[in-house]
């Protein structure tokens, strides 16, 4: 273990282009990536001309690049949310008067378009901005929380120089998962490379005066792209006795799923290796959904909007107080393990099911609506932050 530490330190000092040459020699996946990206670069160089090169204002959304081995885009609620915010931003040009553009970080694998979910937004290389937009005076960079430290540390010299020459640099950290947020010290360090720092949140729970003071930065709730009208709602009689389960790992997951073998006719399916359209079709058919992730996440909210009953464990980080005690939201995984099978059997009648599902639907609708979401984004660009 001690011998490995000096090696890891040396590895960090090796330039990225040297690492890529080594991978090209030793890995077939790297050679495939190299030739795949030649085509992507050509398309990106052509498509960027749809943007106004003389624009004085840019709004840049940073997303993860393609998978190295497969070249496919990665699918997650966070990534879909970023793309959605970008697409809504394009519809608000009369407010911000800027060119919104979706980019991968310079050191990430290239990606031209998301295919795992519906999207009409092209993706570019951050390095393209430097050569194409030559009159930029203001730039707003939206970066997801889990990429924030990585992004700022991995900017190349020419990118740092370009940003220094921009009169006004605004960095917004997209806090979509409070557990992945960088430290307050890092947020303060961002002030050295920007004129303004803001944080936007996906959940109501961590958009509060406490977190405004904790990070010492203006805080604004954006919410997420989820809203009832996007889903195929089906009533109890048109549902299958199907329970869909989030792919998240949890130490009690296996035992809890084992208890469900006692439920007559119940089919359990863990959500894996499907596109977003397939996911929406699946949750429309399912009566039940179970998440082992954040709790208040897409694995229960989206099925609830599709007519399912969701099951999760309450936590202080994501749920607001009004979810505590709601049927289907347990105080602990231990209690879930004891009660879940019996609750599914008890709820599986049209009247009981409909009453419980309606309460869940009504509460989720309180926090997730398209009109509210769009207005939240507009207020952000107007500078009307939830907590200044």
Per the CB < 8 A criterion, the answer to whether 150 and 69 are in contact is no
Average pLDDT, the chain: 90
Report the 10 Å Cβ neighbour count for 58: 20
pLDDT at residue 164 above 90? no
Please tell me if the domain spanning 54-225+373-381 has the same topology as the one spanning 228-367. Answer: yes
CB 201 within 8 A of CB 218: no
Task: Name which residue leads in pLDDT, 379 or 34.
Answer: 379
In this predicted model, what pLDDT tens digit does every residue of 206-241 receive, in sequence order? 999 999 999 999 999 998 878 888 899 999 999 999
140 SS3 class: strand
Helix (H, G, I), strand (E, B) or coil at 234: coil
% of the chain residues with pLDDT over 90: 65
- CA end-to-end distance (rounded Å), the chain: 47
Contact, 276 vs 117, CB < 8 A?
yes
- List, as one string, the DSSP characters of 148-203: HHHHHHH--HHHHHHHHTSSEEEEEEEES-GGGPPPHHHHHHGGGS-SEEEEEESS
- Is 30 within 8 Å of 67 (Cβ atoms)? no
Question: What pLDDT is recorded for position 78?
Answer: 83
Confidence band of 287 (pLDDT split at 50, 70, 90):
very high
User: How would residue 363 be classed by pLDDT, with cut points 50, 70 and 90?
Assistant: very high
Tell me whether strands 219-221 and 138-144 are parallel, antiparallel or unpaired: unpaired
Mean pLDDT is lowest, of 47-56, 202-211, 376-385, for 202-211
Would the pLDDT of 201 be above 60?
Answer: yes
DSSP annotation of 125: E
Domain 228-367 part of CATH 3.40.50.2300: no
| Residue 2 banded pLDDT, cuts 50, 70, 90 | very low
The reported pLDDT for the residue numbered 215 is 95
Q: What is the pTM of this model?
A: 0.82
Q: Alpha carbon of 384 to those of 51, 75, 216, 387: distances in Å?
A: 27, 31, 17, 8
Task: Name all contacts of 339-346 with Cβ < 8 Å and 24+ positions apart.
Answer: 340/256, 340/259, 340/260, 340/290, 340/311, 341/259, 341/260, 341/262, 341/263, 343/311, 344/243, 344/260, 344/263, 344/266, 344/288, 345/263, 345/264
Percent of the chain topping pLDDT 70 = 93
Contact 290, 311 (CB under 8 A): yes
Band of the pLDDT at 383, cuts 50, 70, 90? very high
CA distance 73 to 365: 30
Q: Domain boundaries in the chain?
A: 54-225+373-381, 228-367
Q: What is the mean pLDDT of residues 238-267?
A: 96
Mean pLDDT of 270-279: 91
Q: What is the pLDDT of residue 136?
A: 95
SS3 260: helix
Torsion of the alpha carbons at 272, 274, 279 and 282, rounded to the nearest 10: -80
Assess contact for 102 and 121: CB atoms under 8 A: yes
pLDDT at 26 over 70: no
Question: pLDDT at residue 316 above 70?
Answer: yes
pLDDT in tens, 80-111: 889 999 999 999 999 999 999 999 987 788 99
Identify the CATH number of the domain defined by range 54-225+373-381.
3.40.50
- Binning pLDDT at 50, 70 and 90, where does residue 270 land? very high
| pLDDT, mean of residues 294-313 | 95
């Amino acid at each position: 273990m001690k011998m490995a530490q000096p090696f890891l330190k040396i590895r960090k000092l090796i330039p990225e282009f040297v690492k890529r040459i080594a991978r090209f020699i030793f890995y077939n996946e790297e050679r495939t990536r190299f030739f795949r990206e030649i085509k992507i670069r050509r398309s990106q160089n052509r498509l960027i001309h749809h943007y106004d090169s003389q624009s004085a204002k840019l709004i840049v959304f940073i997303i993860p690049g393609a998978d190295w081995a497969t070249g496919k885009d990665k699918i997650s609620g966070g990534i879909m949310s970023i793309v959605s915010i970008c697409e809504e931003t394009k519809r608000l040009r009369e407010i911000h008067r800027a060119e919104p553009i979706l980019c991968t970080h310079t050191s990430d694998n290239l990606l031209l378009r998301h295919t795992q979910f519906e999207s009409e937004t092209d993706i570019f290389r951050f390095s393209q901005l430097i050569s194409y937009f030559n009159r930029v005076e203001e730039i707003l960079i939206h970066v997801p929380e889990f990429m924030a430290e990585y992004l700022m540390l991995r900017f190349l010299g020419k990118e740092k120089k370009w940003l220094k020459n921009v009169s006004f640099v605004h960095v917004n950290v997209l806090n979509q998962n409070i557990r992945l947020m960088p430290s307050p010290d890092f947020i303060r360090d961002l002030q050295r490379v920007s004129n303004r720092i803001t944080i936007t949140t996906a959940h109501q729970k961590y958009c509060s005066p406490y977190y405004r003071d904790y990070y010492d930065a203006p805080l604004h709730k954006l919410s997420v792209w989820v809203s009832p009208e996007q889903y195929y709602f089906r009533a109890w009689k048109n549902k299958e006795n199907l329970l869909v389960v989030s792919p998240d790992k949890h130490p009690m997951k296996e035992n809890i799923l084992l208890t469900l073998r006692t439920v007559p006719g119940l089919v359990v399916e863990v959500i894996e290796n499907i596109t977003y359209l397939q996911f929406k079709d699946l949750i429309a058919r399912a009566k039940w959904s179970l998440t082992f992730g954040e709790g208040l996440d897409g694995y229960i909210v989206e099925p609830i909007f599709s007519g399912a009953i969701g099951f999760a464990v309450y936590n202080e980080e994501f749920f607001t107080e009004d979810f505590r005690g709601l049927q289907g939201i347990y105080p602990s995984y231990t209690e879930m393990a004891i009660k879940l099978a019996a609750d599914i059997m008890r709820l599986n009648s049209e009247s009981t099911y409909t009453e419980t599902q309606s309460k869940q639907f009504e509460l989720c609708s309180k926090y997730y609506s398209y009109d509210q979401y769009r207005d939240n984004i507009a207020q952000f660009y107007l500078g009307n932050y939830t907590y200044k």
